[in-house]
Amino acid sequence: MQNNEKLTFTELAILAMEMVNRPITPSELWEFVLQNQLHHRLKTFDEATQNFIGKTPKDSFQSNIYTNTEYFELIPNTKPKQYILKQTLFRQPEIPKSSKKAAFHERDLHTVLSYFLHKSAYFQAYAKTIFHEESTKTQKGADKWLYPDMVAAHFEYASYQKGNVLNFIKKFDILPIKLFSFELKKELDYGNFKEAFFQAVSNSSWANEGYLVACDIKQDNQFIESLQKLSQSFGIGIIHLNLNDITQSKIVSPAQFKDKMDYSVVHELANKNPNFAQFLKTITDFEPQNPSRFTAEFDKILSENELQDYLQKHGMI
């Protein structure tokens, strides 16, 4: 678009979203347009009178975003509803992937993440894979970005089982537990990081902490800074899963802790996916004095030797 070219409402919304470069509500985007005087470029704005030709320019602007699915994409489970440009509008050329990356499937990383989450001093968590394909079938696209790849639970109260502390908590408070949600990718680069990040935003709204996990993150200062800005803005943590040395895996950017979960999404997930429903039942029934009784209901945690064999078998190292 030329700077002096007059725009339709749709073209103005595309321009504004490209400038904002993050999920945003149509109302907030309109405020951005006004603050930056972008409305002067509308075909329906009269420079002579400094007025809009139509009576409801804001409504017309927002309506174009709500209804034009060719250009604008709703981020599921956002309240109020937020939109982004369709990824194809700003996707960078895909970076060629090495044969080593192509040798294993994204879901093969679940076993590795399960090991890391259990051994990590921060997480100390039991993880479970959510198989999207086992969910109740709905209209195509209705549940896009609803299901996390993995979920996990940290039973803080398990460390209080000796003495009277646990009994005290049970009587006067809610048992301390932290629930996590994870979106896994083999790699993060300029070609996929926005879409991957907003997947994590969407499917982690129910959890205390949500994370985007990858074993190959583009080592570029500008790219890492872009990731961290998104992380800080929306509270999604980023984990680099180091396949060469799992103990050196690290949280690149921390997640923002939410003390109140979105139970409406918890309800929807439990109704639509049996893995998630079982996860809720397991963590509800969990007994810290007998954890081995429940470990089979989570993803298997390999020993160190088993993990090395697994990584080699799947061509990860």
pLDDT in tens, 23-33: 889 999 999 88
pLDDT band at 99; cut points 50, 70, 90: very low
Whether residue 4 is contained in a domain is answered as no
Q: What is the pLDDT confidence band of residue 172, given thresholds at 50, 70 and 90? A: low
Let me know if residue 2 belongs to a domain.
no
**Local confidence band at 301 (pLDDT 50, 70, 90 cut-offs):** very high
If one compares 47 and 174, the residue with the highest pLDDT of the two is 47
208/250 same-domain check: yes
pLDDT of residue 100: 44
Residues 84 and 103 in one domain: no
Indicate whether 20 belongs to any domain: yes
pLDDT at residue 159, rounded to an integer: 58
**Does residue 237 sit in the same domain as residue 280?**
yes
Q: Let me know if residue 75 belongs to a domain.
A: yes
For residue 196, is pLDDT > 50? yes
Q: Would you say residue 3 lies in a domain?
A: no
Question: Both 207 and 259 in a single domain?
Answer: yes
What is the per-residue pLDDT for 140?
64
pLDDT at 153: 94
| pLDDT exceeds 70 at position 175 | no
Contacts of 57 (CB under 8 A, 6+ apart): 9, 39, 42, 44, 45
User: Has residue 58 been placed in a domain?
Assistant: yes
Edge to edge, what strands does the sheet with 250-253 contain?
Answer: 126-129, 150-154, 178-188, 209-217, 237-240, 250-253
If you average pLDDT over residues 77-96, what whole number do you get? 62
Give the model's pLDDT for residue 309: 96
pLDDT-derived band at 90 (thresholds 50, 70, 90) equals very low
Q: In terms of domains, do 72 and 143 share one?
A: no
| Rounded distance between C-alpha atoms, residue 240 and residue 253, angstroms | 9
* CATH number reported for the structural domain that contains residue 67 in this entry: 1.10.10
Number of domains composing the chain: 2
Same domain, 111 and 250: yes
- Same-domain check for residues 190 and 115: yes
Would residue 201 count as lying in a domain? yes
pLDDT reading at 143 higher than 90:
no
pLDDT band at 160 (very low <50, low <70, confident <90, very high): low
28 in the same domain as 155: no
> In the predicted model, what is the mean pLDDT of residues 296-308?
95
- As a whole number, mean pLDDT of residues 147-175 equals 70
Structural domain span for residue 65: 9-89
pTM equals 0.69
| 114 & 174 share domain | yes
By CB neighbour count within 10 A (0-12 exposed, 13-18 middle, 19+ buried), where does 121 fall? exposed
Do both 166 and 264 map to the same domain?
A: yes
Residue 260: inside a domain = yes
